[in-house]
């Protein structure tokens, strides 16, 4: 069964929504800090249960899947009819939203992965030789911001997909009209002595 543009838009939107949900939950579940336990010549940090690392990576994975699906949805040969990529980029609106979608996708990935990796490092390195060390966690607000930008990215991919659909329709209309023009011109210019006898 061939994939339709509606199905691709649902896939992009669903993946973007899942990334948003995971990112928001990760932000809400992230502890503000750990509890320092003094040791001889150092400190060990005790952190509460922290699912933000797993949720952060899940959010980033859904974001990447949304970006890939969004990109493929623009140039997929729907109904077996492909369109040259240059045709889409003739449209200024498509070019603008395509670049915005790519930029917001990269920004969302940065905002999601940076605190997630930082949080993982904090959780894995609990013992500190400095007695004054604080039990820090990743910067608050980045995961939530990344979640919202991730949702924005999927929406921009959907807008670009609608503009790509318009560009496809215009391209095929121009193609059909040019073929009809060639046929009409050929019939008109054909000399009488070359036409078949009735």
For 78, 86, 125, the CA distances from 83, given in Å and listed in that order, are 9, 8, 52
Per-residue pLDDT, 122: 83
Domain boundaries, the chain: 5-189
| 16 in Cβ contact with 154 (< 8 Å) | yes
For residue 93 the two structure tokens come to 């609106």
* Dist CA 23 CA 145 (whole Å): 8
pLDDT tens string 13-57:
999 999 999 999 999 988 887 887 887 777 888 888 888 899 999
Question: Which of 4, 10, 9, 11 is CA-nearest to residue 79?
Answer: 4
| 104 in Cβ contact with 156 (< 8 Å) | yes
Per-residue pLDDT, 191: 47
For residue 195, pLDDT beyond 70: no
Q: What percent of the chain has pLDDT over 90?
A: 46
């Amino acid at each position: 069964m061939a994939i339709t543009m509606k199905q691709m838009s649902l896939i992009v939107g669903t993946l973007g929504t899942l990334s948003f949900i995971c990112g928001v939950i990760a932000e809400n579940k992230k502890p503000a800090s750990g509890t320092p336990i003094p040791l001889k010549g150092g400190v060990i940090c005790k952190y509460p249960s922290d699912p933000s690392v797993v949720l952060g990576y899940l959010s980033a994975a859904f974001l990447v899947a949304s970006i890939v699906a969004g990109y493929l949805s623009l140039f997929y040969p729907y109904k077996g009819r492909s369109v040259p990529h240059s045709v889409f980029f003739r449209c200024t609106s498509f070019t603008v939203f395509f670049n915005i979608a790519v930029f917001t996708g990269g920004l969302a990935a940065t905002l999601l992965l940076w605190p997630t990796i930082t949080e993982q490092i904090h959780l894995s390195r609990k013992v500190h030789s400095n007695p004054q060390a604080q039990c820090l966690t990743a910067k608050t607000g980045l995961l939530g911001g990344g979640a919202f930008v991730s949702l924005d990215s999927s929406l921009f991919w959907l807008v670009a997909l609608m503009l790509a659909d318009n560009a496809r329709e215009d391209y095929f209309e121009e193609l059909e009209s040019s073929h009809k023009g060639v046929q009409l011109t050929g019939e008109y210019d054909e000399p009488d002595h070359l036409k078949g006898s009735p």
